Structure 1
Amino acid sequence: MLLKFRLQNSRSVRDIQELTLLSGPDGGFGVPLRSGCSGAPGPSHASVAQGSAGSSRTAGSSSSDNTAGALRVSPLCGVFGPTAAGKSTILRALSTMRSLAVSGSDVHDATQRFEPFQLDPAARLLPTRFEIEFLLDGVRYVYGCAYKRDEIAGEWLHATDRDRRRVWFERDRTGIRCLPEARLDHLAAACPSAVTLLSLGADVEHPWLAPIAAWLFGIRTVRLAPGTRLAGGLAHLSDRWSEQLTLLVSHADLGVVGVERDLLRLVHAGRSGSVPLGGWAESDGTIAWLDLLAALLPMLERGGVLLVDDLDAAVHPDLAAEALRLLRDRDLNPARAQLVFTARTPFGPGSDGLPVLDPEQIWYVAKDSDGATVLSRAPSATQLGPGDLARELWLARQPK
């Protein structure tokens, strides 16, 4: 499960910003930590010096977190804020982190899109830094990467179980330091300067690195484009999730009473009875919601992290709230799938009067006086409320 994500010097983000999905003692899902082997698939009793480039380069280290016992991790994280505040930058950074880790060709494409903070001349000379913390098979991993165009300036991978933290490898311009039993020396010697060691390990199916890259590969981005994937989405769901899909659409106040599986059409209640309609007859909002379900329902079974930008722009808040509740249900989400999304404002209470999101699942973005995105738990006092923009425009036209 995704625990934390940090980014620095990426698009509208200049300073280090951290997004966390760790919950309080009563929130989220409890996920136990493994004991005794620090995630290594091989021998577990090697020691490595702890001083390092990765932990010193990047703020927000996990060393202060209490990793004993179980962690409480949220399945949901919403990032809210006005237009151009930097919401999409957070998700884009997560998607780029995935590209930097999963294959050599993806790394090349990602470094070509090097986009440092442009409003500070000094930032343009510095690398972009990403660091992600996640839990896999009871081990807490920290993977980080610093890059510029066509260059990986730094890379690090640490593992922490219930007993101790170990540095799997750390790489910078001067070389690489790694656990002897990981046998990464030959792989590192063959790694080009513009490719991450993790992606190379995935390409050659290295027993230590390939599972880490595979987890990162499970971070998926869904772009809700109404009208473009209705048939494909329903085809994907028609066999395994037909009952769940029928139940959801029947209770969503869409006028839909079922799903015709063979022709992939929604069945509507009409004056003369039930009538199946093709995708061309459905509203854009209905199609966008089905598109979201097509990505979300399978993840409830296999796990992973789903990224959705501008959720409230394509899906009605009431329908979005129903999708979010699927993730919060411990029985419906046995694989502990997670959703990180952006929207303009937090959703209000649902039809049952209960909040859709807990306070710890809500983050806000705003621009500071230097034009840089800041991520926080509290909304910015300078954000415009309903009708504020119209009043500002009216006042601007008045004589001074």
Structure 2
Amino acid sequence: MFIELKVTNFRSLNDTQTFSLVKCKGDELAVSNSFKVSSVNKLELLRSAVIYGPNASGKSNFLRALQTMQHIVLGSAAEQRGDLLPITSFRLSPNTRQLPSEFEVMFLVDGIRYQYGFSATSEQIHEEWLFVYPKNRAQNWFTRSWMPDTKQFEWKLGENLAGEKQQKYLWQTSTRDNALFLSTAVQLNSKQLQPVFDWFKRNLHLANVSGWGYSFSAKLCENEEKSKVMNFLNAADINIDDIQIETSLFDPNDLSAEMPETVKQIIVENMKGKKIRDIKTIHKDSQGKPVVFDFEDESDGTKKLFSYAGPWIDSLENGHVLFIDELHDNLHPKLVRFLIELFHNPKTNPKNAQLIFTTHETSILNQEIFRRDQIWFCEKDTEQATKLYPLTDFSPRKGRENLELAYLSGRYGALPFVKTMHSAF
């Protein structure tokens, strides 16, 4: 379960920006849109949140920050010394260009709260820390800080970090400057840190505008879970009678002879031994007989919804966290509402999965769908730095204020400032 994310000095985010799914006061939509965490005293979380803002305001950079954090956690231990990290600081201020970017996320695994973060430049990690709250009391499991004077890290491995002294020393000495201690220790068999690593690997799912692709949903259609995908599509009023998946091993001979050799080698290396899935959709004609269509013949909206089927089903069944950029893209507003309400319904979301997304779709910006603390805005200030802030900063009237109208009229900011053009025409 996701609780909070803080990002500092990353791309368009300069000052520390905080995004939270902690429920505020107010009982509106409490049963459907929020839930209590029994293991943490008085903690209530939200099942979803939406972020509005104009193009180029930094919404995607905020999601990219968490994506970058996930990438470094999962991959840094496997990199080589000297490999660069995918870090870009805020470049529009001379004071921040050379400073490290900082990321911190707070989440729950099996009822235990974790607070994990690190700061880094593209060359190396500068700081890393992990605080854990079993029984709601903080434990410092480890911290490391780069000392510029000595060109070494200052370490503190807490007494609550499990492992023999010799084993901890191995984890510490094996951690390169451009790698995370968390990732290295898990690679060297730290069972205690495995749940933290696994949250990034298994529980956190992020997608850009193009979604996840079709492979996840196609895999489900190859086994007994195909009925779930069909039910998902039928509930969204997508008129497909059946789906067929034809699989074959990747064959390099299928690549175009006109493709550059260097590109061809990369594709062959990445696809060697992997399955190729060809998706076919079945529609019935006017006489009720099945007609086979290539998946590419379907509309962009149908393909987009199919790509969401697998992640939606998996997340709702297992209580995962989804971050999606521009959920509305190629989807009718009623389909967007359908996807959101699957998370808001305790029957379809029994394990409290969470959905966080950006959108320009304002028809869902109302108090029948969202609590006031579920709505966030994103805009750039005069220094071209991204600012993220919640609707609750404006104290809108409960159940009475027309949020869509107020937003489009400029009350909450986060709107594009469109200038008139005369000379161009």
TM-score, normalised to structure 2, is: 0.75
Indicate which of 62, 65, 72 corresponds to 1:100: 72
After TM superposition, give the deviation of residue 121 of structure 1 in Å.
0.4
User: 2:37 aligned with 1:31, yes or no?
Assistant: yes
Change (3 A) 1:145 1:262: closer
Which residue of structure 2 aligns with residue 43 of structure 1?
Answer: none
User: 2:98 aligned with 1:125, yes or no?
Assistant: yes
Change (3 A) 1:186 1:235: closer
After TM superposition, give the deviation of residue 87 of structure 1 in Å.
0.5
Which residue of structure 1 aligns with residue 351 of structure 2?
Answer: 335
After TM superposition, give the deviation of residue 74 of structure 1 in Å.
1.6
Change (3 A) 1:232 1:192: closer
What pairs up with 1:178-189 in 2 under 5 angstroms? 178-182=157-161, 183=163, 184-189=168-173
Over aligned residue pairs, what C-alpha RMSD do you find?
A: 2.8
Contact (CA 8 Å) 1:75, 1:336: kept in 2 or not?
yes
Separation (CA, whole Å) in 2 of partners of 1:97 and 1:312: 25
Q: Which runs of 4+ in 1 moved over 4 A?
A: 105-111, 228-232, 261-264, 379-385
Separation (CA, whole Å) in 1 of partners of 2:3 and 2:79: 23
User: 2:256 aligned with 1:272, yes or no?
Assistant: no
Indicate which of 368, 377, 383 corresponds to 1:364: 377
Separation (CA, whole Å) in 2 of partners of 1:243 and 1:233: 11
Contact (CA 8 Å) 1:76, 1:361: kept in 2 or not?
yes
Contact (CA 8 Å) 1:103, 1:202: kept in 2 or not?
no
Which residue of structure 2 aligns with residue 160 of structure 1?
Answer: 133
Change (3 A) 1:186 1:229: closer
Change (3 A) 1:197 1:383: closer
Deviation track 1:71-121 (CA, whole Å, cap 9, x = no partner) reads 211221222111100000111111111122224356779953220001100
After TM superposition, give the deviation of residue 19 of structure 1 in Å.
0.6
Separation (CA, whole Å) in 2 of partners of 1:362 and 1:206: 39
What pairs up with 1:315-394 in 2 under 5 angstroms? 315-348=331-364, 355-378=368-391, 381=411, 382-384=413-415, 389=418, 392-393=419-420
Separation (CA, whole Å) in 1 of partners of 2:172 and 2:317: 36
Separation (CA, whole Å) in 2 of partners of 1:211 and 1:155: 17
Separation (CA, whole Å) in 2 of partners of 1:289 and 1:164: 43
Separation (CA, whole Å) in 1 of partners of 2:100 and 2:140: 22
Change (3 A) 1:248 1:220: closer
User: 2:309 aligned with 1:282, yes or no?
Assistant: no
Deviation track 1:285-328 (CA, whole Å, cap 9, x = no partner) reads 11011101122211222232222212112333221221121122
Separation (CA, whole Å) in 2 of partners of 1:332 and 1:369: 43
- Higher mean Cα deviation, 146-155 or 329-338? 329-338
TM-score, normalised to structure 1, is: 0.79
Contact (CA 8 Å) 2:209, 2:329: kept in 1 or not?
no
Separation (CA, whole Å) in 1 of partners of 2:383 and 2:376: 20
Separation (CA, whole Å) in 1 of partners of 2:294 and 2:340: 27
Change (3 A) 1:231 1:9: closer
Structure 2 unaligned blocks of 5 or more: 147-152, 247-278, 392-406
Aligned length: 354
User: 2:185 aligned with 1:192, yes or no?
Assistant: no
Contact (CA 8 Å) 2:216, 2:311: kept in 1 or not?
no
Which residue of structure 1 aligns with residue 269 of structure 2?
Answer: none
